[in-house]
Amino acid sequence: MEKESADEFYARLKEQLLENTTWPSNYLYKFIVPTDEARISQIHDIFDNTGAVIESKQSKKGTYTSLSITVHLQNPDEVITKYKEVAVVEGVISL
């Protein structure tokens, strides 16, 4: 994602989270990542010590793994921070 469009995306997301959610709140992240233990554990590490519940499911052919991560966060800024941390994982798609 280009820097400017990423910034716009996060600004819109923050607005929506402030309008539609009472904070603190549980937030559900959904990511798809190529099935690779290093990349999956990189995402697990990002949510380590947050009390997150992480469910993973491999695609039919096993090429990709989807991760559903539910975590209790204090505000929209925390949500966006985690998205930015996960964005550095190679090949990750945020849904």
pLDDT given for residue 88 in this prediction: 95
Q: What is the pLDDT along the chain (95 residues), one digit of tens a residue?
A: 556 688 899 999 999 999 999 999 999 999 999 999 999 999 999 999 999 999 999 999 999 999 999 999 999 999 999 999 999 999 999 99
pLDDT given for residue 66 in this prediction: 98
Work out the widest C-alpha separation in the chain, in whole angstroms. 39
pLDDT given for residue 6 in this prediction: 85
Closest Cα to residue 47, out of 86, 77, 74, 21? 86
pLDDT given for residue 73 in this prediction: 97
β-sheet with 93-94: strand ranges across: 53-58, 64-73, 25-34, 93-94
CATH no. for 3-94? 3.30.70.260
Whole-prediction pTM: 0.91
pLDDT given for residue 5 in this prediction: 85
Closest Cα to residue 48, out of 80, 17, 82, 77? 82
DSSP state of 51: T
- Domain boundaries along the sequence of the chain: 3-94
pLDDT given for residue 4 in this prediction: 63
pLDDT given for residue 1 in this prediction: 54
Q: Could you tell me the sign of the dihedral formed by the alpha carbons of 42, 32, 91, 74, in that order?
A: negative
